[in-house]
């Protein structure tokens, strides 16, 4: 459209009005997406929720990650579904169709992205993100935490598959697993895991959104104005290890990500990375005061770091 103009002056003029024309085009398509669902709000509108996740994502989301995020069912005033329902995972075609051409899947990387970067710029301008995605921090935090609190991720029976927390040197015993061909976490070679890291990897294979949710939920829960449901779900996650042998798997995934990605040392599943450490990492001040009633303020994780050390390292 711009290059069709014969002179440079005409092209400059076309460039000046292009954003306005694109804005009109985007607003028209978004209005159609909003009308296509039961509601314009992302809670009840699949297309708007797809667009919200792509707008909020800090890195390109894999198709499987996004599909699992969209499988979380929320109802206003309720905490949402308690387990992953395979029937709630939208097919790729449905996911793309409901966005009316604004979203594509990169077939090489299997990541989902906006069809053009200008759409992201549109959401950033003039408070469009707030207009189209109201309460998006609270909504995203609730979706993250609902997923992380799914029964299969927080069930006590995972304790039977992992070493106790008291020492990083604890190993899995050879007889710790039953040879059950229906066990989704079973190793084909000998029916057992070589170490606890395999268990986390196996869980992440079955729960595609686990890694991203574990690493990012606190960035949204930290915002003021999050719903009561967010606080309930967050405290459930952060206090999960009070009656368990080891921290919640989401905390273990977060700890491993922090250690591998930012600090360059390796940890194991048995490391004592507790809820109070995670809250300090994310700067969740309102939770830390309450967690201080349950944990030692100077509790050390597997690397010897206290909550204060993590808070300082993360700039809080």
Residue 188 above 60 pLDDT? no
Average pLDDT over residues 70-87: 78
Residue that terminates a domain, selected from 101, 133, 165: 133
Residue found under tokens 């890195």: 59
- In a domain, residue 108? The reply is yes
Residue 110 above 90 pLDDT? yes
What is the extent of the structural domain holding 259?
A: 151-206+239-313
- In a domain, residue 305? The reply is yes
- In a domain, residue 92? The reply is yes
Count each helix (H run) and each strand (E run) in the chain, helices first. Answer: 15, 3
Phi, psi angle pair for 77, to nearest 5°: 85, 0
Q: Are residues 163 and 287 in the same domain?
A: yes
For CA atoms 58, 259, 152, 198, the dihedral sign is positive
Model pTM above 0.95:
no
Q: Are residues 159 and 47 in the same domain?
A: no
Q: Are residues 33 and 173 in the same domain?
A: no
Q: Are residues 39 and 163 in the same domain?
A: no
Q: Are residues 98 and 25 in the same domain?
A: yes
- In a domain, residue 93? The reply is yes
Q: Are residues 52 and 178 in the same domain?
A: no
Q: Are residues 306 and 183 in the same domain?
A: yes
Q: Are residues 156 and 304 in the same domain?
A: yes
Give the lowest-confidence range in 50-64, 199-213, 243-257. 243-257
3-state secondary structure of 178: coil
Q: Are residues 157 and 125 in the same domain?
A: no
């Amino acid at each position: 459209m711009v290059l069709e103009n014969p002179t440079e002056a005409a092209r400059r003029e076309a460039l000046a009005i292009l954003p306005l024309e694109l804005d009109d085009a985007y607003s028209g398509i978004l209005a159609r997406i909003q009308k296509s669902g039961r509601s314009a709000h992302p809670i009840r509108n699949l297309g708007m929720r797809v667009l919200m996740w792509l707008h909020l994502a800090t890195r390109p989301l894999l198709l499987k990650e996004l599909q699992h995020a969209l499988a979380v069912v929320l109802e206003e005033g309720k905490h949402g579904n308690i387990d992953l329902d395979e029937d709630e995972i939208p097919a790729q075609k449905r996911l793309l169709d409901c966005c009316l051409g604004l979203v594509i899947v990169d077939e090489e990387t299997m990541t989902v992205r906006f069809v053009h970067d200008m759409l992201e710029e549109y959401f950033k301008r003039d408070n469009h993100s707030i207009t189209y995605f109201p309460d998006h921090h609270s909504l995203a935090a609730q979706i993250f935490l609902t997923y992380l609190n799914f029964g299969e991720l927080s069930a006590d029976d995972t304790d039977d598959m992992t070493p106790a927390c008291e020492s990083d040197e604890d190993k899995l015993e050879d007889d710790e697993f039953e040879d059950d061909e229906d066990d989704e976490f079973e190793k084909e070679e000998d029916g057992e895991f070589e170490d606890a890291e395999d268990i986390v990897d196996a869980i992440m294979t079955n729960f595609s959104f686990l890694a991203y949710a574990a690493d990012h939920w606190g960035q949204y829960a930290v915002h003021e104005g999050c719903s009561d449901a967010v606080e309930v779900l967050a405290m459930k996650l952060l206090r999960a290890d009070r009656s368990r042998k080891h921290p919640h798997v989401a905390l273990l995934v977060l700890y491993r990500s922090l250690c591998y990605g930012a600090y360059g040392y390796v940890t194991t599943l048995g490391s004592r990375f507790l809820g109070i450490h995670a809250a300090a990492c994310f700067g969740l001040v309102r939770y830390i005061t309450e967690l201080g009633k349950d944990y030692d303020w100077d509790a050390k994780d597997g690397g010897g770091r206290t909550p204060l050390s993590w808070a300082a390292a993360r700039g809080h």
